[in-house]
Amino acid sequence: MNRKPKNLARLLKNGPLFFYNLSIVVFSPYFLGRKLLRVFTKKTSVEFLKERWTIPLMGAEIPDSKAIHVVFVATGFGEKYTSEQLTAALREVRPDVRVTWAVKDDVAVRDVLKEYPAQPVTFMPYDFLPSVATWLGKLQPDVVVSVEKLWIPNIAWASKIWGAVVVVVCGRRGHYRDKGLRRKLWFGVNSWTLRGFDTICLQSETEKKRLQSVLPQSSAVRITGAIKISRRQGARAVSGVLTRWMETQNPAKLPLLVAGSTTSAEEEALVLDAFEITRSETPCALLLAPRHLHRVDEVLAILRARNFSVNRRSEFHDDEKARPADVYLLDTMGELSIAYGFGEAAFVGGTIAGAGHNVIEPVEWNVPVFFGSGAEKSGSAVQELALEHDAGFRVRDAQELGAGWARVLRDAAWRETLRANCREVIEDQKRALEANLQAIVEAIDRVGAR
């Protein structure tokens, strides 16, 4: 293996990397303001976690081994699930490699420690050179795999200078704008950032077309699809309390509709209007899971204003008697991907005005999914996949959603067809898993050949 720089001074010899970090220092009041805004609007702690500076190594002890070390970089639960899938597949074909997860979200890190106590895990560093240098020094990675995220200049370039092979899997453009003033201002930085990756795996041809002007010729660029499957074998057992809540609190066994990751009062209004349309035709119940838990009180007020009876997951105890409700409020973290499995049909939030959240989570439980039209123009790889297989449907208003939900509950033959279509989507996801895994294996083989 090649020799790796062991200190910050060696990293600072790279001119572009030095000046990029100097600009971070110069504009630090602006960046600090943005972080504070996220803290107060999204009620998140990830912008000011000391662990993202100190990089504690948790989970199983990392052995003193010469085995090739692969580090997955993930931001939240969705990317953590992708890391799970890729890690499991990687260990089947390369059982001798070491794998560590570096996760940004502190709640997701705690989830890993609880669910996978043998899995080495740490925090994703701030994308600032001192933090990244600490991270590199502690982990000594041979291969760095960024899950979805392209815009991590320090992590990509510092890892490359350190001697690691750097890969992005399921890459997507994120907040990149391919038109307007922002593109002109950031064109050079974006082009330079992407040159930090040795291999760039993108979710779709649409993503590639949007990024075409900044994609480097020096990196291998390929279309491998998006991996959004998240269910693990025995997932119901992992979340036994959730299962008991669902099984005991709906004694009439009413068909359940699931609305997950709703992000605004507007979106909840659409869902609740559609729910009323549906249950006027077929008796049913609704499971509602707001994306951000700091909005739970707001959502409760909306439900009570409409005179819905509510049963909250956070208030459930195993010895509690059944409390049937119109709406079951999932006000806990990390359980939504499993909760979709109790539904007959679903709606995924964040999709009225934007690309929204993971529409594959319900599909992998053979539950057809509906979503808004926010990503219709920009394109969402997983939404397009669901549409292509007739397992997902775009809706523009509550009437369309209510009519779709009602048909799923009413038409048993159509419901079975949709479930078969969902299984086709998962087969496509497995092919995407294999394609992204191949890029990681090739990176490992590059390290092994040194």
CATH code, domain with 83: 3.40.50.11720
What would the pLDDT profile of 123-145 be if each residue is shown by its tens digit?
A: 999 999 999 999 999 999 999 99
Q: Which of 77-86, 94-103, 248-257 has the lowest mean pLDDT?
A: 77-86
pLDDT of residue 185: 75
Domain harbouring 267, CATH code: 3.40.50.2000
Q: Which domain holds residue 276?
A: 235-429
For residue 61, what pLDDT band results from cuts at 50, 70 and 90?
A: low
Only one residue has tokens 């997860």, namely 101
Decide which of 201, 224, 247 is a domain's last residue. 224
Per-chain mean pLDDT for the chain? 90
Work out the percent of the chain whose per-residue pLDDT is above 70: 93
pLDDT tens profile 213-250: 999 987 789 999 988 876 554 444 456 889 999 999 99
Residues 18 and 149 in one domain: yes
In a domain, 177, yes or no: yes
Residues 52 and 166 in one domain: yes
> Are 240 and 147 members of one domain?
no
Q: Does 437 reside within a domain?
A: no
pLDDT the model gives residue 377: 59
Quickly state the pLDDT bin for 208 (edges 50, 70, 90): very high
Indicate whether 213 and 326 sit together in one domain: no
Distance CA 192, CA 153 (A): 8
The answer as to whether 44 is a domain residue is yes
Residues 6+ away with beta carbon under 8 Å from 433: 85, 86, 89, 227, 229
| Together in a domain, 350 and 420 | yes
Residue 401 identity: L
Which residues lie closer than 8 Å to 68 by C-beta, 6 or more apart?
A: 94, 96, 97, 98, 142, 143, 444, 447, 448
Assigned domain for 411 exists: yes
What is the residue-wise DSSP string for 61-99?
PPP---S-EEEEEE-SHHHHHHHHHHHHHHHHH-TTSEE
Q: Are residues 104 and 246 in the same domain?
A: no
- 264 lies in the same domain as 162: no
Least confident segment among 11-20, 174-183, 255-264: 174-183
DSSP-assigned letters across all residues of 223-267: E---------TTHHHHTHHHHHHHHHS-TT---EEEEEEE-SHHH
Count structural domains, the chain: 2
Quick one: pLDDT at residue 4? Answer: 55
Whole-structure pTM value? 0.79
| Confidence at residue 183, expressed as pLDDT on a 0 to 100 scale | 72
Tokens coding 2:
């090649």
SS3 320: coil
In a domain, 269, yes or no: yes
310-363 tens-digit pLDDT: 999 999 988 788 999 999 999 998 899 899 999 999 999 999 887 788 899 999
Judgement on whether residues 254 and 182 belong to the same structural domain of the protein: no
pLDDT score recorded for residue 38 = 74
- pLDDT at 199 exceeding the cut of 80: yes
Strand 121-123 versus strand 143-147 pairing type: unpaired
My answer on whether 193 and 254 are in the same domain is: no
Within a domain: 408? yes
259 with 207, same domain? no
Q: Which two tokens stand for residue 258?
A: 């699931």
Residue 231, phi-psi category: left (phi > 0), alpha (psi -120 to 50), beta (remainder) = beta
- Do 20 and 106 fall into the same domain? yes
Q: Is the pLDDT of residue 379 over 80?
A: no
DSSP assignment string, 27-54: THHHHHHHHHHHHHHH---GGG-THHHH
Question: What distance in Å separates the CA atoms of residue 202 and residue 222, rounded to the nearest whole number?
Answer: 6
In a domain, 315, yes or no: yes
274-295 pLDDT tens trace: 999 999 999 999 999 999 999 9
64 plus 116 within the same structural domain: yes
Instruction: Say if CB 421 and CB 67 are below 8 A apart.
Output: no
